[in-house]
Amino acid sequence: MKRDIHLSYIPLAGGKRLLCIRIEAEERLNTLRMETTLAIGDAVRRADQDESVVFVWLEGKGGKAFCAGGDVRLLSGKYLGGDKKSALDFFTTEYSTDYSIHMAKTPILCFAHGIVMGGGIGILAACRHKVLTPDVVLAMPEVSIGLFPDVGATWFLNRMPRGCGRLLGLCGYRMDAADACFLGFGDRVVQEDDREALFESLVALDWTGNPERDAQAVDAVLAHFELPLESGFLAEKPECLRKLALAPDPVTFGEILVESGKREPRLIQASKTFGSASPFSICLTWRQLGTGRHLSLKQAFCLELILAARCMEHPDFHEGVRALLVDKDQSPAWKDGRLENVDPGEIRNCFTPPWSSLHPLKDLPDPALISGWS
């Protein structure tokens, strides 16, 4: 199968090189298949071991999207066709790749434009330099298809200003560039038309091979191209977010969200998404965020793999994919019609590994044992 990825090495002064990674599946908004995430992870790990590679540029082809997430339609089809191993392999590969990007010593820049969702956010959030275009739209809408916010979301949603993690994870809230920068998904906003000039300026840098010094030089270049940015909705509504953060359960959270949506138009779509999402997914995500508050990044990915494997066993995932991505009738028949109907025991079971062997992500490196990583 085509890997949907293009790798190129750009020669720099002094025998050094820049690695450019481009996702090339624009006909499906650069959604990720396992072969693609595997190739990205392999390329990043090789670059980190190659002293000649001093910088990595990561982007998506086409004008509509950097990456709209994982190709869950293909994933569900394989699972229902009896290939259950592929589902676990897909998530294991994706999480390993994201973790490798987080861990990389070599500075990695993600140039994110258009739609950035799910797995695309996982890649973006892991990069040292996060560059957004003004038209960017970011979201984690997994609860709408019977999943949960993954790709490290257990870790990064819990490190956001109070209430924001819940809003993103439970409601698929759509962030613009200002919101994304406020929450740490973006460092700079740059015109898409300046992409080539920015790239050429980076190529012309005096690269030292010292990751920290080179990262500082990259920041200086980015500052030259940076657009001024006004504060966004989330930065201006701390009281609204505080109320969401204080909700004691998903039902109360939903009620607060509906009332907030009457006063804040930006929350209307989030309220609709919450109301139409899988009740199972909402309850699972609620427990995920609570359980994962103090987990390390590695522990978060290990937990998410367990949850992902359990979601593959649940009918809501496959029904969500059918309703939103296959038949597109937008009318999923969820197993539990209401939040109150979700069995707490079923949610607790999702945190129990479905395998009797060692955890598939057990070999993820511990940052405490890696020199030069922080």
**CA-CA-CA-CA dihedral for 274, 280, 284, 286, to nearest 10:** 30
Mean pLDDT computed over 334-351: 97
Report residue 235: phi and psi, to 5°: -70, -25
CA distances from 360 to 75, 90, 304, 369 (A): 18, 12, 12, 20
Three-state SS letters, 91-107: HHHHHHHHHHHHHCCCC
Query: Looking at per-residue confidence, does 320 or 1 come out higher?
Result: 320
Q: What is the pLDDT of residue 366?
A: 77
**CA-CA-CA-CA dihedral for 88, 85, 67, 203, to nearest 10:** 80
Query: pTM of the prediction?
Result: 0.95
The band of 108, judged by pLDDT with boundaries at 50, 70 and 90, is: very high
Domains of the chain: 5-369 (3.90.226.10)
pLDDT per residue over 281-293, tens digit each? 999 999 999 999 9
pLDDT per residue over 255-268, tens digit each? 999 999 999 999 99
Q: What is the pLDDT of residue 2?
A: 60
The band of 158, judged by pLDDT with boundaries at 50, 70 and 90, is: very high
- What lies within 8 Å, CB to CB, of 172 at 6+ separation is 139, 140, 141, 142, 143, 144, 270, 273, 277
pLDDT over 90, % of the chain? 95
On the CB side of 317, how many CA atoms lie within 13 Å of its CA? 23
| Lowest model confidence (mean pLDDT) among 2-11, 34-43, 131-140 | 2-11
Query: Looking at per-residue confidence, does 1 or 57 come out higher?
Result: 57
Report the candidate in 243, 248, 280 with the shortest Cα–Cα distance to residue 258: 243
**CA-CA-CA-CA dihedral for 141, 144, 147, 151, to nearest 10:** -10
Query: Looking at per-residue confidence, does 162 or 170 come out higher?
Result: 170
Q: How far apart are CA 199 and CA 347, in angstroms?
A: 47
The amino acid that residue 218 corresponds to is V
Q: Given a cut of 90, is residue 367 above it in pLDDT? A: no
Q: What is the pLDDT of residue 371?
A: 37
